[in-house]
Amino acid sequence: MAAARRRGRAVGAPSTLRPAFPIRFLTHRTGCAMSAMFRCRIVRALPLLVLSIAWPVRPDAAPASAAGGGPGVATAATDAGEGRHAGGASGVAYTLAATWSEAPPRPGPGRFADAGDIAATPDGTLLVLDRHHNAVHMLGADGGPRALWPNPATTVDGGNWQWVRLDTGVDGAAHVLARGVFAKVDGPPETRWRVDVLDGAGARTRGLDLGSVAPERYVDLAVHPDGRIYVTRTNGNVVRSGTYAIDVFSPGGERLRSLVPPQLTIPINLDVAGDGTLYVVDQWPHTGAPGPGSGKVDGVAIFGPDEAYRETVQFSGAMDVAVGPAGVFVSRDNGVYALRSRQPLYAGPTVQKSPYRLPALGTPTMFSLAVPAAGPSRLVASMSHCTYQGVVAFARPEAGAAPVYHGALDLPVLRGPVYPLRAAFGARLELLQGRFEPLPPGEGSAAFASQLYTTAPQTVQHWGSDGALLGQLGLCGMWNAPQAYADVAADGEDVYSIDHQLITHRPDDHPPAWEKYALELSLDVTVTPHLSAVAADGGGAAVLDVGSSSVLIVDDAGKRVASWPYAAASPDPWAPTDIAMAGDRVVLASGNDGELRMFGRDGAPVARWKAPRPIRGVAIAPGGDVVALDRFGWAYHVAVEAAAGPDGGGPLHRARLVTAWPMPDRTAVARDIAVDPSGRVYVPWVDLAPAPDAVDVAQRVLIRRAGVWVFQPSRASTPVETPVLTTSGRADCVVRADSVAAPRILGLGASATVEHRVDGACAGAATLPVRVAIVFNASESMNTDNGLERAKVGVIDLVSRLDPARTELALIAFADGAAVQAACPSGPADVRPAVANLVAAGDTDWTGALALAGAALACPGGRPDVARRVVLMVTDGARPGAGDDPSAALAALRAQGVEVYSQLHPFLQIAADDVQAAVALAGGTDRAFTAHTPEGLDRQADRVAGRATVIDVPFAALEVGVDLAPDVDFVPGSAEPPATFDPAARTLRWGRMTMEGPNPSVVVRYRVTPRRAGSWVAVLAGGAAALQGGTTAGGRLGFPLPALHVRGASEVLLPRVERP
Query: Over the stretch 777-792, which tens digit does the pLDDT of each residue have?
Result: 999 999 999 999 999 9
Burial 341-350 (b: 16+ CB within 10 A, else e): eeebbbebbe
Average pLDDT over every residue of 258-266 = 93
For residue 494, is pLDDT > 80? yes
CB 186 within 8 A of CB 131: no
Distance CA 68, CA 1022 (A): 8
For residue 56, is pLDDT > 60? no
Average pLDDT over every residue of 457-483 = 92
Tell me what pLDDT residue 10 has.
Answer: 34
Give the confidence band of 988 by pLDDT, cuts at 50, 70, 90: very high
Q: What pTM, to 2 d.p., does this model score?
A: 0.86
Read off the pLDDT of residues 208-244 as tens digits, 9 standing for 90 and up. Answer: 999 999 999 999 999 999 999 999 999 887 667 789 9
Tell me what pLDDT residue 17 has.
Answer: 27
For residue 5, is pLDDT > 80? no
Distance CA 619, CA 123 (A): 52
Spell out the residues 6+ positions from residue 882 whose beta carbon is closer than 8 angstroms to its own: none
Give me the count of residues in the chain. Answer: 1060
Which is higher by pLDDT, 547 or 441?
Answer: 547
- 512 upstream amide cis, omega within 30 of 0: no
Read off the pLDDT of residues 134-178 as tens digits, 9 standing for 90 and up. Answer: 999 999 999 999 999 999 877 666 668 999 999 999 999 999 999
Q: In this structure, what CATH number is given to the domain that contains residue 916?
A: 3.40.50.410
Is residue 356 in some structural domain? yes
For residue 595, what is the DSSP state? E
Q: Is 936 helix (H, G, I), strand (E, B) or coil?
A: helix
The winner for highest mean pLDDT among 105-109, 603-607, 671-675, 1031-1035 is: 671-675
Distance CA 987, CA 1002 (A): 19
Average pLDDT over every residue of 526-536 = 96
Is residue 371 in some structural domain? yes
Tell me what pLDDT residue 65 has.
Answer: 28
Give the confidence band of 996 by pLDDT, cuts at 50, 70, 90: low
Residue 148: C-alpha distances to residues 415, 736, 1047 (Å): 18, 53, 55
Domain span at residue 818 reads 770-945
Which is higher by pLDDT, 19 or 413?
Answer: 413
CA 457 to chain centroid, in Å, comes to: 12
Residue 687: C-alpha distances to residues 97, 418, 429, 666, 703 (Å): 20, 10, 20, 10, 6
* Residue where a domain stops, chosen among 409, 429, 452: 409
Is residue 56 in some structural domain? no
Tell me what pLDDT residue 784 has.
Answer: 92
Distance CA 510, CA 387 (A): 7
CB 457 within 8 A of CB 447: no
- φ/ψ (deg, to 5) at 1028: -95, 130
Instruction: Give alpha helix (H) positions in 736-878.
Output: 787-799, 828-836, 846-858
* Residue where a domain stops, chosen among 379, 409, 439: 409
Tell me what pLDDT residue 354 has.
Answer: 73
Give the confidence band of 474 by pLDDT, cuts at 50, 70, 90: very high
Give the confidence band of 759 by pLDDT, cuts at 50, 70, 90: confident
Tell me what pLDDT residue 6 has.
Answer: 38
For residue 124, is pLDDT > 80? yes
Average pLDDT over every residue of 988-1012 = 85
Of 266-275, 280-289, 511-520, 1038-1047, which gets the smallest average pLDDT? Answer: 280-289
Is residue 244 in some structural domain? yes
Tell me what pLDDT residue 9 has.
Answer: 32
Tell me what pLDDT residue 81 has.
Answer: 28
Is residue 581 in some structural domain? no
Average pLDDT over every residue of 656-674 = 91
Tell me what pLDDT residue 840 has.
Answer: 94
Which is higher by pLDDT, 643 or 784?
Answer: 784
Give the confidence band of 299 by pLDDT, cuts at 50, 70, 90: very high
Read off the pLDDT of residues 312-358 as tens digits, 9 standing for 90 and up. Answer: 999 999 999 999 999 999 999 999 999 999 999 999 998 877 777 77
Tell me what pLDDT residue 185 has.
Answer: 83
Give the confidence band of 808 by pLDDT, cuts at 50, 70, 90: very high
- 651 upstream amide cis, omega within 30 of 0: no
- φ/ψ (deg, to 5) at 57: -105, 140
**Mean pLDDT (the chain, rounded):** 84
Average pLDDT over every residue of 1037-1055 = 75
For residue 267, is pLDDT > 70? yes
For residue 526, is pLDDT > 70? yes
Tell me what pLDDT residue 91 has.
Answer: 58
Helix axes 787-799, 828-836, angle to 10 degrees: 170
For residue 19, is pLDDT > 60? no
* Residue where a domain stops, chosen among 945, 962, 981: 945
Q: Specify the DSSP element, H or E, that contains 481.
A: none
Tell me what pLDDT residue 16 has.
Answer: 30
CB 952 within 8 A of CB 998: yes
The percent of residues above 70 in pLDDT, for the chain, comes to: 83
CB 409 within 8 A of CB 112: yes
For residue 1032, is pLDDT > 70? no
Is residue 502 in some structural domain? no
Average pLDDT over every residue of 641-649 = 57
Residue 497: C-alpha distances to residues 480, 483, 669 (Å): 18, 12, 22
Number of domains forming the structure of the chain = 2
Enumerate the β-bridge partners of residue 637.
627, 659
Distance CA 821, CA 838 (A): 9
Tell me what pLDDT residue 1053 has.
Answer: 54
CB 522 within 8 A of CB 515: no
Tell me what pLDDT residue 39 has.
Answer: 26
Give the confidence band of 200 by pLDDT, cuts at 50, 70, 90: very high
Read off the pLDDT of residues 382-410 as tens digits, 9 standing for 90 and up. Answer: 999 999 999 999 999 988 889 999 999 99
Give the confidence band of 714 by pLDDT, cuts at 50, 70, 90: confident
Is residue 479 in some structural domain? no
CB 236 within 8 A of CB 242: yes
Distance CA 153, CA 833 (A): 57
Q: Is 157 helix (H, G, I), strand (E, B) or coil?
A: helix
Enumerate the β-bridge partners of residue 416.
103
Q: In this structure, what CATH number is given to the domain that contains residue 255?
A: 2.120.10.30
Average pLDDT over every residue of 683-688 = 97
Tell me what pLDDT residue 115 has.
Answer: 96
Is residue 843 in some structural domain? yes
For residue 728, is pLDDT > 90? no
Closest residue by Cα to residue 487 from 521, 538, 536: 536
CB 606 within 8 A of CB 640: yes
Tell me what pLDDT residue 4 has.
Answer: 44
Which is higher by pLDDT, 611 or 69?
Answer: 611
Which is higher by pLDDT, 648 or 40?
Answer: 648
For residue 621, is pLDDT > 50? yes
Tell me what pLDDT residue 221 has.
Answer: 97
Give the confidence band of 117 by pLDDT, cuts at 50, 70, 90: very high
Which is higher by pLDDT, 184 or 1009?
Answer: 1009
CB 426 within 8 A of CB 619: no
Which is higher by pLDDT, 657 or 198?
Answer: 198
For residue 31, is pLDDT > 80? no
Distance CA 1000, CA 997 (A): 6
Read off the pLDDT of residues 76-92 as tens digits, 9 standing for 90 and up. Answer: 222 222 333 333 334 57
Tell me what pLDDT residue 1048 has.
Answer: 83
